Chain A
Amino acid sequence: MHELGVVFHCIGEINEIAKEQRLEKINSVTVEIGEVSTVIPYYFEDCWKWAVKKEEGALKDAGIKLETIKAVTFCKDCKQEYETVKYGKTCPNCGSGHTYLVTGNEIMIKEVEASFPEDG
């Protein structure tokens, strides 16, 4: 049920953006999901579809596009980067465990596509 909570947060943020920018109709939202963000894209999409049906404002029935952010870890000992998903927390180059995640745990709203009534 974790994805549903994240979707609610996402919808809250976008409704705020819609208010700031006076958006009336949002066609779709693009969200970037890190490979190690603990969010499963398939479930996120499902929760999104369910949640936007219940929306009453600009977000009603808005589509969702998901993009992946690759996870990259940096090794403090040999100063090299490597793929997190493949090797985890142990550096494949020198075997050290002194590593930290550089990118890949993000959940970001990348962009919002809105339509405006043609005036004149």
Chain B
Amino acid sequence: MDKVKIIEVKRSIFENNDKDADRLREELKARGTFLLNLMSSPGSGKTTTLVQLINRLKDELAISVMEADIDSDVDAKKILEATGVNTIQLHTGGMCHLDADMTRQGVKNLGDAKADLVILENVGNLVCPAEFDTGSAVNVMILSVPEGHDKPLKYPLMFSVCDLVIVNKIDVMPYFDFDLEKCKEYVHMRNPKAEIIPICAKTGEGIENVADWISRQIKEWRNS
């Protein structure tokens, strides 16, 4: 007969990932690489927004992009063609989010080229990407007008982990019952510190403000 022993663990499943994410944050800080984790629903205009942002920032910063998707490389190709910056595609193999370890592998695959700013385009999903710390310096999410101004109420965790909420597709606001003031109120209910910037990625309206926000964050991060 074997002896049976109960081992008390009491450990959160996220504990390892959180530690790993902190380690990655330190490694990136030492390399001088600012990691921005970009999250949103599918179809909110992440890739279009990125192209606009990169073209505005690439003269002052060395930028790389990691595209995470369940499958295909259409986004990575689009970014590469439209901006020319170093881009890699990560496949999550059916997983709905990226964790710190997958992000580290992605960073490794970017190679030794100098990168001031690495943008991680997370899987299009408002649920699990919010739960797993990727090791990023900032979290940014895009909420597009057709999704509705009540999204912060439906996905509170996502909004509570974001430093910046970009409201995209404001050109179609008149066709949807989207109330920007209500949206701001709901975001701040869950996260009083979140900044909110309205944009239209298609026309470029407001992109300047997001680019300024990113430059400012990088400056503060370098001095911290």
A residues lining the B interface (CB < 8 Å)? 1-2, 4-6, 9-10, 12-14, 16-17, 21, 23, 25, 27, 31, 38, 89, 97, 105-118
A108/B6 contact (C-beta < 8 A), A5-B97, A13-B15, A16-B16 known: no
Bound CA span A107–B131, Å: 11
Bound CA span A5–B131, Å: 11
Bound CA span A107–B2, Å: 30
28 A-B residue pairings within 8 Å (CB atoms)? A1-B96, A2-B96, A2-B127, A4-B94, A5-B128, A6-B13, A9-B14, A9-B16, A10-B13, A12-B16, A17-B7, A21-B7, A23-B7, A25-B2, A38-B128, A89-B156, A97-B189, A106-B12, A107-B13, A108-B11, A108-B13, A109-B11, A111-B7, A112-B6, A113-B7, A114-B5, A117-B2, A118-B3
Provide the residues of chain B in CB contact with A89, threshold 8 Å. 153, 156
Q: A4 near B6 (CB under 8 angstroms)?
A: no
Q: A13 near B16 (CB under 8 angstroms)?
A: yes
Q: A13 near B11 (CB under 8 angstroms)?
A: yes
* Minimum CB distance partner of A113 in chain B: B6
Bound CA span A10–B12, Å: 9
Provide the residues of chain B in CB contact with A105, threshold 8 Å. 157
Bound CA span A20–B157, Å: 33
B residues lining the A interface (CB < 8 Å)? 1-17, 94-97, 99, 127-128, 131, 153, 156-157, 189
Provide the residues of chain A in CB contact with B97, threshold 8 Å. 2, 5
Q: A115 near B11 (CB under 8 angstroms)?
A: no
Shortest CB distance A59–B (Å): 13
Shortest CB distance B103–A (Å): 14
A114/B16 contact (C-beta < 8 A), A2-B127, A5-B97, A38-B127 known: no
Provide the residues of chain A in CB contact with B14, threshold 8 Å. 9, 107
Q: Which 5 A-B pairs have the closest CB atoms?
A: A115-B2, A107-B13, A109-B9, A112-B7, A116-B3
Provide the residues of chain B in CB contact with A110, threshold 8 Å. 8-10
Bound CA span A27–B6, Å: 10
Q: B9 near A17 (CB under 8 angstroms)?
A: yes
Provide the residues of chain A in CB contact with B95, threshold 8 Å. 1, 4-5
